[in-house]
Amino acid sequence: MMQPPEILAFFGISSPWAYFGAPRLYEIARRHGAKLVLRPIKVIEANGGIPLRTRAQARQDYHALELDRWRKFLGMALQLTPKFYPCRTIETAAQAVIAVQEAGLDAQGFCFAVQRALWAEDRDIADLNTLREIARATLGEAGVALMREPALPQHVAAWQANLAEAESRKIFGTPTYVFRDELFWGQDRLDFLDRALSA
């Protein structure tokens, strides 16, 4: 029996671009019968990644312009200046996604709800109680039990391993989708990922 194709999604849980791309990524994976593995990471400074707030003001201004264009184009709710962004930490939410995925629960649904909470609902995804509320709504009580701070050692280790793998794959920005060792950087490259899966 043939193994299903596998897509690795390396992304920042607080990335608006990962939020924009998630619904189409999930749809592409479903349509091709692909296994989608979520790999939350932080900014990959080793490969040239630059946190948004440390970029030149001209780049920050253009970033806001592009967010406005894309939210209109995709018809997705997004606050240009969300109340809790930049997040005071992304590790708690990212490691929660890792825990949910490891447990075999709906990691995609939970992850997107976390992203939507930050970008469309002005909720603090660094707050454990917020994550528990999201988990209860998307996963039920089994998901709530996975919301921990600090995270379990294996989930911290997975978080660190995700970054190490991203660095070794020469990923420099997120989201980056990987299929058969080919990189597709950015939610605006999802059409190319779709074509690669079709081929």
Break the chain into its structural domains and give their ranges. 6-198
Name the band, by pLDDT with cuts 50, 70 and 90, for residue 1.
confident
Angle, CA of 130, 133 and 134, to the nearest 5°: 90
Q: How many C-beta atoms lie closer than 10 Å to residue 178's C-beta?
A: 21
Return the structure tokens found at 118: 């930050």
Which pLDDT does position 48 carry in this prediction? 62
* pTM for the model: 0.95
Please determine, for residue 31, whether its predicted confidence score (pLDDT) is greater than 90: yes
Average pLDDT (133-143) is: 98
Average pLDDT (156-170) is: 97
What distances in angstroms separate CA 80 from CA 7, 49, 89, 160, one per listed residue? Answer: 29, 21, 19, 30
Say if residues 80 and 64 touch (Cβ distance below 8 Å). yes
Say if residues 26 and 20 touch (Cβ distance below 8 Å). no
CATH of 6-198, one of 3.90.1420.10, 3.20.20.140, 3.40.30.10, 3.40.50.620: 3.40.30.10
91-102 and 128-138 are packed helices; what angle lies between their axes, rounded to 10 degrees? Answer: 30
Please determine, for residue 155, whether its predicted confidence score (pLDDT) is greater than 90: yes
Return the structure tokens found at 101: 């995925």
